[in-house]
Structure 1
Amino acid sequence: MSRKMFDLCGRDERLRFSPYCWRVKYALAHKGLDCDFIPWKFTDKDAIAFSGQSKVPVLVDGDTTVTDSYEIFRYLDRVYPERPLLGGDVAEARARFFKFYAERSLAPGVMRTILMDVFNAVHPEDRDYFRTSREKAFGRTLEEMHSPSQGLSMLDRALEPMRGRLDEAPFLEGDAAGASDYLVIGVFLWARVCSAADLVSNADPVYAWYHRMLDLHGGLGRNATRLVDIDGGYGG
């Protein structure tokens, strides 16, 4: 197979929890494109040095290497125009909004809710790196940042725009899922793989959307291996 993607893994290679990598998995499935997902750890910088940077996802498609989840969306539309992800200027502007909405409004609340679960999920060889890099960015310890009650409150407020849209349509894109949905679902898959936390109630329109997204593309998200599936579960 000529197409492969370096994909963040945890303490078990089956644990794939990067929200950015999940975006691309949904985009590839949307296009009907096969891909070999290569397990990668935070400290495996040498393995992706050829890409000129140090983060995943890294998509290698034949002789072409593409980094950054959103740039991969754009690349896939250029090279594989069937079933477009972004479409025209208006559709891409909408997708850009949801990209930033997921990263800047949803992710902070989710992070505060599941941070120590993520720490338990990362590979043992990555834990020093994860702790050091995150604590430097946060300006406080992981334990101080981990606050599920505060995180869920933040997330509840941040979900209001999604609730409004999902009262109108089954997906953020309308009657069928598209780029906006894929850009957002990555945050929820991050939590699903690493944590048992319930982010939304089953009466919330976001909950129904979330389960539609899990079942999409042959159960792509629902079939993902979770930390609870691994021996030791959430105990770390």
Structure 2
Amino acid sequence: MSQPLVLYDLAGSTPLKAWNIHTWKARLALNIKGVSYKTIWLEYPDIADLCKKISAGPNGTRGGQPLYTVPILQDPNTGTVVVDSFKIAEYLDAKYPNTPRLIPDGTKAFQAMFRDVFEEKVTWSMMEVVAGKLVTQLPPRSETYWRAGIEGFVGKKAEEIAPEGPLKDAAWKKVVDTLGAVQGWASQNEKGAFIMGDKVSFADLAVMGPLMWLKAVEGVESKEWKELVKINDGRWGRLVEAFAPVQVAQHPDLDTFKQERTSPFALRAYFQSSMSQALLLYDIPGTASAAKAWSPNVWKARFGLNIKSIPYKTVWVEYPDIEHVCKTIGAEPTGTRFGKPVYTLPVIQDPNTGAVVADSFKIAAYLDATYPNTISLFPDETKVFQTMFLQTFEDNVIWAILQLVARPMMNQLLPRSLVYWRDGAEKAFGKKVEELAPEGPERDALWKKVVDSLGAAHKWASENPAGVFMMGDRVSFADIVIAAELQWLKTMNGTESMEWKEILEIDDGRWARLFEVFIKWERVDE
């Protein structure tokens, strides 16, 4: 590389100068990789003309017109021009493979998912928080241009979007709540300040972009910044500290930016199990022998055991007996309802270790840790992304599918289980099971929610060009989550149902191909 790369950024009027949420992601990427570059500072009105001049394409449309944005990276050594921070990170990974990878192999779909979900929840709320001060930190031409756009969109002055008081507090609470959700996901990794534990990735840049925006505009003495570095057990303070060496306008000396390379799961790989006895999987029986296993949550555990080829046998438990069985074998409750502990299946019991584990996610983590020589369900420190996918996908899908399958479910449950399940479902929904998802607009809306969620998963998975799985050619827990929910729909509504036939056709046939692969893991022992 004979010439430094060129990063196009929006200039601020403060000493830090770099403030833009999206360009900070590209800047941090360059700094982490130690790639030499220089910044060309732009003002808002000049972006479109510059992009056309250097052949940087639009990054979307607005009002039917092409939208030109920063960051833009120009590589004079290859003649390449790249727009969008995620695409810039991809380019840098490909062009400079001996530098720290920002999108580790197989994680592209998860990185894209994290970016989309996090930015959707944070970007607008953070804009509301900083809007009043941002206008004071832009050069005059940029301020005029930015005001016209934002004030035309929201119908009020920038200073009135979220002034000090309840409006700003409400916007800030949304930011804090989202960071709290990320903390919940990130806590799945036992080591390191990063989303992938001790390995930095683009997901960390997605978080750092808004944080650097807040720092640049509101300042380190603001109440928001002081709160930020303390909340969630100080996670964001530690992340900011870890990124301190690369929070500069040009590439730094990276000697101080070190990453631990030892995975906590790699340390467990030294444990080898003798596994002399089959594990026990506790499941809820259906009435049909061909569809005795129907529960989507238990299917996640069953798929996991089958993928890993771990010997097990099923213990069938009816709904009214679950709590008693769980207490008898020492299974912990998986939550609370009305202040009382709730016991659910799946549960696995491992006679080789004495462990009893409830909850499909925890079961998968246990199997990975205890039987490391089997296929990993959380490969390459992706546990945080898998957690995030589970919650994001199921929040949109599980209640919709439950209503869609509720009526046929009554034909699949044994009499005692049916009485118990009907009582719980009707209390939860406030209506008779027969009244759930009636044919017409209500049912169509529920089905659209399922289809839209699958469409989002397809979009993320398409980031990996090879293979049918979320990680391309590597199966992981995220695929199990999708397969289990669809298995539930298939079992209850049948393969001749309108919904199942549509599942096999949508998203370029992705889910049909996924099920072709999962057929070999549909084993149910008797």
What TM-score results when the alignment is normalised by the length of structure 1?
0.84
Compared CA separation, residues 211 and 119, structure 1 to 2 (3 A): farther
Letter in 1 for 2:181: P
Compared CA separation, residues 152 and 12, structure 1 to 2 (3 A): closer
**Residue 77 of structure 1: how far off its partner (Å):** 1.7
Structure 2 residue aligned with 1:194: 217
Letter in 2 for 1:67: V
SS of the counterpart of 1:208?
Answer: helix
Structure 2 residue aligned with 1:153: 173
SS of the counterpart of 1:159?
Answer: helix
Structure 2 residue aligned with 1:48: 51
Structure 2 residue aligned with 1:220: 246
Compared CA separation, residues 202 and 28, structure 1 to 2 (3 A): closer
Compared CA separation, residues 55 and 201, structure 1 to 2 (3 A): closer
Matches within 5 A, 1:110-129: 110-129=126-145
Structure 2: how far apart are the matches of 1:201 and 1:20?
19
Identity between Structure 1 and Structure 2 (%): 22
SS of the counterpart of 2:81?
Answer: strand
Letter in 1 for 2:158: L
**Residue 180 of structure 1: how far off its partner (Å):** 0.7
> Is 1:133 equivalent to 2:136 in the alignment?
no
Q: Is the 8 A contact 1:171 1:209 kept in 2?
A: no
Unaligned runs of 5+ in 2: 59-67, 250-526
Structure 1: which 4+ aligned runs deviate by more than 6 Å?
none
Letter in 2 for 1:48: C
**Residue 211 of structure 1: how far off its partner (Å):** 4.1
**Residue 112 of structure 1: how far off its partner (Å):** 1.6
Compared CA separation, residues 206 and 32, structure 1 to 2 (3 A): farther
CA RMSD of aligned residues (A): 2.2
Compared CA separation, residues 159 and 14, structure 1 to 2 (3 A): closer
Post-superposition Cα deviations, 1:79-106, rounded to whole Å, max 9, x if no partner, equal 22222211223x1122112211332111
Structure 1 residue aligned with 2:270: none
> Is 1:80 equivalent to 2:82 in the alignment?
no
Compared CA separation, residues 3 and 213, structure 1 to 2 (3 A): same
**Residue 207 of structure 1: how far off its partner (Å):** 4.1
Report which of the two structures shows the higher radius of gyration computed on alpha carbons. 2
Structure 2: how far apart are the matches of 1:201 and 1:186?
14
Letter in 2 for 1:178: S
Structure 1: how far apart are the matches of 2:20 and 2:70?
8
Structure 1 residue aligned with 2:7: 5
Post-superposition Cα deviations, 1:115-160, rounded to whole Å, max 9, x if no partner, equal 1111111111111111110122224332331232121121122222
Structure 2: how far apart are the matches of 1:109 and 1:59?
27
Answer 1 or 2: higher relative contact order, Cα 8 Å, separation at least 6.
1
Q: Is the 8 A contact 1:171 1:181 kept in 2?
A: yes
Structure 1: how far apart are the matches of 2:235 and 2:245?
15
Structure 2: how far apart are the matches of 1:52 and 1:201?
36
Question: Pick from 170, 173, 197: which aligns with 1:174?
Answer: 197
Structure 2: how far apart are the matches of 1:138 and 1:87?
39
Structure 2 residue aligned with 1:19: 21
SS of the counterpart of 2:175?
Answer: helix
Q: Is the 8 A contact 1:12 1:123 kept in 2?
A: no
Unaligned runs of 5+ in 1: 225-236
Structure 1 residue aligned with 2:123: 107
Compared CA separation, residues 179 and 36, structure 1 to 2 (3 A): same
Letter in 1 for 2:22: Y
Structure 1 residue aligned with 2:33: 31
Question: Pick from 184, 187, 194: which aligns with 2:207?
Answer: 184
Q: Is the 8 A contact 2:180 2:232 kept in 1?
A: no
SS of the counterpart of 1:175?
Answer: coil
> Is 1:165 equivalent to 2:188 in the alignment?
no
Compared CA separation, residues 10 and 113, structure 1 to 2 (3 A): same
Compared CA separation, residues 5 and 190, structure 1 to 2 (3 A): same
Post-superposition Cα deviations, 1:167-207, rounded to whole Å, max 9, x if no partner, equal 34421121132211012100110111111332435442374
Q: Is the 8 A contact 2:32 2:246 kept in 1?
A: no
Structure 2 residue aligned with 1:66: 82
SS of the counterpart of 2:6?
Answer: strand
Structure 1: how far apart are the matches of 2:45 and 2:110?
34
**Residue 107 of structure 1: how far off its partner (Å):** 1.6
Structure 1 residue aligned with 2:112: 96
> Is 1:208 equivalent to 2:222 in the alignment?
no
**Residue 6 of structure 1: how far off its partner (Å):** 0.5
Q: Is the 8 A contact 1:7 1:57 kept in 2?
A: yes
Compared CA separation, residues 155 and 212, structure 1 to 2 (3 A): closer
Letter in 1 for 2:75: D
